[in-house]
Structure 1
Amino acid sequence: MSPISILLLPFFFFIISISAQSNNLTYPNCPSYDCGNVTVRYPFWNTDSESATQFCGYEGFGINCSDNGKQNIPKISFGGDSYYVQSIDYELETVFLVDYDVSPVATVRDSCPRVKHNINLGTLPFNFSMFSVNLSFHFDCDGCPSFATEIKCLEQNDKKVCLDVMNNGTVGSVWDAYSCDQEVVTTVIGEKMKLVPNLATGFGRVLEEGFELRWWGVDDCDGCEASDGRCGYRNATGFLCFCMDGTTSKGDCRGKLVTTLKFYF
């Protein structure tokens, strides 16, 4: 072996050591946990072990793990409404949710579920995926227009319930003539609708499949995450950056990473 190769060899193993550590980052203040079939980790966090006064993750990304008597159910809340967390894809930064009231894990199952509220994401860093389709339910109507689907199992007192797939652009004054008392808009995955031949009787199956959200990084977290930190919050100090060595910073983790050098000859 040449003298140059011998000199470079320690640096080669040094790089391997750095790479191995970067691929196995651990954060004592940001533990992951399993709830049902879902692994919950940053930027999501556990509302059971953490709280609104201190957490490691994004604000509004807290997940509650509850027991329905048969299994553990991961749930997240937006605008005061609960959603069942079906799965989380951390590589694609995607989460699949179902309105808990119409989910397959709800305490009371209903073959003809009524959607009770819109999906209110507020200012959270979520977007509906490009595969999403909005379903508009119109309740207590005098009739249903030809472009809508009548949902007979939800009708009461001779009033109609109409379902409109909103990608046809039928909004606003078109519905005025039908004197509906309430409109609720929810979102589903468009591809799942193809699996249901009759929307009038199979709409519940579509709702149970849920919808898909993509999240993105929070602006205030850029510096922290760029330094291999994890963003969080503490009531007494506000924004926090949790570092790999277990310490916290009000800014970022630069200068906090301690690397063990390994030389092999």
Structure 2
Amino acid sequence: MDPNNSFAFRKLLSIYNCIFLFTYLATQTVSQHPKFKSCEPKNCGAGPNISYPFWLPQEQESFCGYPNFMLNCSDKGAVLAISNDVYIIKNISYANNSLLVANAAVYEESCPTPLHNINLDRTPFTISPGYTNISFFYNCTSKPKDNYSLYNLSCATNSTHYSFVGFHLEEIEMRSNYSLNSCHDFANAPIHTCEDIGSLLGENYREVLKMGFLMNWTAHNCSTCERSGGRCGFENNEFICFCRDRPRPKSCDAGTSLNVGRKVAIGLGASIGTLVIMLIAFFFWYRRKKRQYESIFSRSIKSVPSSKAHTEKRSSYNGAHLFSYEELEEATNNFDKTRELGDGGFGTVYYGKLPDGLEVAVKRLYENNYKRLEQFLNEVDILTPLRHQNLVLLHGCTSRDSRELLLVYQYIPNGTLADHLHGERAMPGALPWSTRMNIAVETACALAFLHASDIVHRDVKTSNILLDNNFCVKVADFGLSRLFPTDVTHVSTAPQGTPGYVDPEYHQCYQLTDKSDVYSFGVVLIELISSMPAVDISRHRHEINLSTMAINKIQSNSLNELVDPSLGFESDYAARKMIRAVAELAFQCLQNAKELRPSMEKVLEILKEIQSRDYNAEKAVDINSPSDDVGLLKSGPIPPSPDTVTVTWISTSSTPHASV
């Protein structure tokens, strides 16, 4: 190990030991009684806090609440079971002993209607004043002649039986001379009484029921215990106050509260001391690393008199041509705002023209700091030795002694793939499927080349895929890239990247592999198919992330709803076959577990095979075949990997710029 790195490692290890010791002592100082700890308020996701008299069996012990107040967590939040129905907890007011609930049945997709009357007998709950019942009638052999305050339930009605909803059972029978005995089932549901409830019900009874209704409960008052610093519970059929040191009948006494306060103060002091030590240690580590990087950079650049631009231009850093600041300032017309091409993750990009007529894109990095220098070095180190027809070319950079750190790239005139799919250059039909297929192949080729060179891009997205006038690909923006060793499987890093493209496994364990690029490329493939952005908050909340939306569409055999209509999916046989195959490949790339994703080399191989297939011959075979195999997604789920691995899905993402 390098002596400097070894020294830094030993220092960091010492700091970690100190932090651990302080944290352990602070924890021991403010030790808590197990039952006090067990009854800490919990919640189900973003829902209300759950505490006495309620309790969650998955998170808390039964003594934290009353037996009849048990709640459960579901995908819709906390729920309460009453009789044969389940009610979603929308809000809890512990001050007023009330909770707002809605019948979970009305959230069902097929026919959202309550099936039973709410029965609060032998429960601690009552419905608050100000609510009235609406009645649901099911499977009636006839319907009332007078439709006063009646609304049809089309989802529960067929050619022989009727279902409807309305107010006031007695009034329905009296006004319409109608016998409710003709209905097989009926159920009442409480709703809030307001002037326009009738019109609301007619427009959308489901939304009216989703508003819920208020219930009150009866239980032992908890305020005295809570004010004394305790947590309420119910054990051995009696109320009990769990204090930090031990359980008590009603409240935690003053002596204990004082003792606990003293302990908390000691623990807080220890925590603040730990924080100060961490900040001091980080400050010295930061300064040392900054000097180390500056020293490395200085030694790597030949000694150049900064006042002589022609001498600086003849110099180089790691093979990259060194430009003078003045030369690039002139090329960009003093970094004129009208020449801005876009904002990258670490700087603004400008159009420039050198004295010899060469058009360039000049990236001007943001504020001068250690992180900026690190990204500058990273991009130069990675791009300088790389030469590939689908990677943007780095012409050079300025020296560290220059007024600003600038990177000079080849200028790509036709914008980014994002511009053409859903940006300012997007036009229906302007980017046919054959062109999109070629873009996919060339992008995969560039990424496979990077991975073969032990480089992970880390920020693959359509705004980093540049297009020339012939729509040939140039992959750009290596500010986040990292060289990864060949003898390890991952490199731990801080979370970086662009929302909508980031490997979900990377967010969970902060482990970086080449499969992170594969996941991001899967999102790019879906963008090519759909012409939709990776993230769009105007879409339905379950479809804000394009990857989630695509997975749902593919798994439900609804690919046609995802495809850009201008691609001829319904009319062009070859396009339809290729789009289906690319969607299958994207599905494989978007697997949550990185082990189930193909390598970039395999992705490239599959894309080339899809592109080169003779679809005219296949079409002739399909016409003569009794079954059309183009129904790949309609006949069953797509195999989620090249080896047709069966996967159980678990639902679980820099700013774009125009040139580099």
1:43 matched to which residue of 2? Answer: 53
Corresponding position: 1:64 with 2:63: no
| Cα separation, partners in 2 of 1:79 and 1:171, compared to 1, 3 Å | farther
In the superposition, the TM-score normalised over structure 1's length comes to 0.67
Distance 2:252 2:102 in 1: 42
Paired letter, 1:56: C
Query: Which secondary structure state, in structure 1, belongs to the residue aligned with residue 133 of structure 2?
Result: strand
User: What TM-score, normalized by structure 2, do the two folds share?
Assistant: 0.29
Residues 1:177 and 1:189: Cα distance change in structure 2 (over 3 Å): closer
User: How far did 1:172 drift?
Assistant: 8.2
Q: Does 1:136 align with 2:135?
A: yes
Separation in structure 2 between the aligned mates of residue 121 and residue 47 of structure 1, nearest angstrom: 22
- SS of corresponding position for 2:118: coil
Offset at residue 63 of structure 1 (A): 1.6
Q: Partners of 1:195 and 1:136 in 2: how far apart? A: 14
Distance in 2 (CA, whole Å) between partners of 1:201 and 1:152 is 12
Give SS of 1:40's match: coil
Contact preservation (8 Å) 2:43, 2:78: no
Partner of residue 250, structure 2: 253
Structure 1, residues 151-173: CA drift from partner, whole Å, max 9, x if none?
1413123322232323x754889
Matched, 1:84 2:79: no
Task: Give yes or no for the alignment of 1:30 onto 2:39.
Answer: yes
2-structure distance, mates of 1:82, 1:175: 32
Mapped to 2, the partners of 1:255 and 1:244 lie a distance apart of 6
Residue 189 of structure 2 corresponds to 186
Contact 2:79 2:88 in 1 (8 A): yes
User: In the TM superposition, what is the alpha-carbon distance from 1:89 to its structure 2 partner?
Assistant: 1.6
What is the CA–CA distance in structure 2 between the aligned matches of 1:176 and 1:98, rounded to whole Å?
A: 30
**Structure 1 unaligned regions, length at least 5:** 1-25
Distance 1:178 1:254 in 2: 56
- How far apart, CA to CA, are the structure 2 residues paired with 1:211 and 1:231? 27
* 2:120 counterpart SS class: coil
RMSD value, Cα: 3.3
CA deviations 1:61-91 (Å, max 9, x no partner) are 122123x3xxx62111111421111111222
Q: Deviations over 1:190-247 (max 9, x none)?
A: 23x7266253441111111111111222xxx46x8766672414xxx44452432453
Structure 1 CA distance, aligned partners of 2:233 and 2:185? 40
**Matched residue of 1:134: which SS?**
strand
1:75 to 54, 74, 79: 79
Residue 93 of structure 1 and its aligned partner are, at CA, apart by 1.9
8 A Cα contact 1:86 1:98, kept in partner: yes
Please state whether the residue corresponding to 1:33 is helix, strand or coil. Answer: coil
Higher relative contact order (CA 8 A, sep 6+): 1
- Measure the CA separation in 2 of the matches of 1:78 and 1:155: 28
Is 2:120 aligned against 1:93?
no
Question: Conserved in 2, the CA contact under 8 Å of 1:152 and 1:200?
Answer: no
1:100-159 deviations in whole A, cap 9, x for unaligned? 1213xxxx424x522211112232221111121111111122122634404141312332
Distance 1:256 1:94 in 2: 29
Closer/same/farther in 2, CA of residues 82 and 197 from structure 1, 3 Å limit = same
Q: CA separation in 2, counterparts of 1:176 and 1:102?
A: 27
**Equivalence for 1:176:** 179
C-alpha distance in 1 between matches for 2:240 and 2:88:
29
SS of 2:179's equivalent in the other structure is helix
Distance 2:115 2:180 in 1: 23
Paired residue for 2:388?
none
Judging changes above 3 Å, is the alpha-carbon distance between structure 1 residues 240 and 247 closer, same or farther for their aligned structure 2 residues?
farther
Secondary structure of 1:186's aligned partner: strand
Distance 1:246 1:76 in 2: 32
Partner-residue secondary structure (3-state), 2:137: strand
AA aligned to 2:217 is W
Bigger fraction of residues in strand = 1
Contact 2:51–2:64 (8 Å) recurs in 1: no
- Separation in 2, partners of 1:80, 1:55: 25
Distance 1:248 1:169, change over 3 A: farther
Aligned residues: 215
- Measured in 2, the distance between the counterparts of 1:246 and 1:79 equals 39
Change (3 A) 1:242 1:28: farther
5+ residue gaps, structure 2: 1-34, 262-660
- The residue identity in structure 2 corresponding to 1:46 is L
Distance 2:41 2:209 in 1: 29
Which residue identity is paired with 1:38? P
SS in structure 2 of the partner of residue 260 of structure 1: helix
Secondary structure of the structure 1 residue equivalent to 2:68: coil
Q: Is the 8 A contact 1:79 1:122 kept in 2?
A: no
Q: Deviations over 1:169-192 (max 9, x none)?
A: 54889753651111111112223x
Q: How many angstroms apart in 1 are the aligned matches of 2:207 and 2:198?
A: 8
Which one-letter code corresponds to 2:59 in the other structure?
Answer: S
User: For 2:206, what is the secondary structure of its paired residue?
Assistant: helix
Q: In structure 1, what is the Cα distance between the partners aligned to 2:180 and 2:59?
A: 52
